[in-house]
Amino acid sequence: MLIRLDTTISEPLYAQIAREVCRAIMRGDVREGERLPAARELAHSLGVNIHTVLRAYADLRDAGEIELRRGRGAVVLARETLHDDVEAAVRNLLSVARRQGVELEQLHRALDEGAAE
């Protein structure tokens, strides 16, 4: 996994790392089910602190790209495809929300609240 960091730009290091790892996954450089390099290892090879890599990994986990488990590491998740009717419901929701001027972030909250009930 070849990653180059640019310390001259304002983009945070953890964001650069997350972006590059994400691209590596998209390219198929790291395949589904495979492990990413351990955080300490990648941190050392990039010359950054382990926390910076862990922050990037955590962001990728929140984005649903990878799974993190202690002792095991970071595993690339499968990007499952949605059923047609679920996809249709998503499109419908986005369409209605857009018409009403409802922000995307609010939809996420509404989903969480609705799912919690």
Residues that bind its own copies (CB under 8 A): 63-64, 80, 82-83, 85-87, 89-94, 96-97, 100, 102, 104-112, 114-115
Q: Which of residues 61-80 bind DNA (CB under 7 A)?
A: 61, 68-74
Q: Using CB under 7 A, pick the residue from 23, 26, 32, 51 that binds DNA.
A: 51
CB of 39 to DNA, least distance (A): 3
Residue 73 forms beta bridges with which residues? 69
* Residue 116 buriedness (CB in 10 A; 0-12 / 13-18 / 19+): exposed
Question: Does position 4 bind DNA by CB under 7 A?
Answer: no
Are 36 and 74 contacting, i.e. CB atoms less than 8 angstroms apart? Answer: yes
Distance of alpha carbon 80 from alpha carbon 98, whole angstroms: 26
Q: Which residue's structure tokens are 């990653």?
A: 3
Q: Using CB under 7 A, pick the residue from 8, 10, 81, 100 that binds DNA.
A: 10
Are 100 and 62 contacting, i.e. CB atoms less than 8 angstroms apart? Answer: no
Cβ proximity to DNA, 38 vs 102, nearer residue: 38
- Residues at the contact surface with DNA, assessed by CB under 7 A: 10, 12-15, 36, 38-41, 47-52, 54-55, 57-58, 61, 68-74
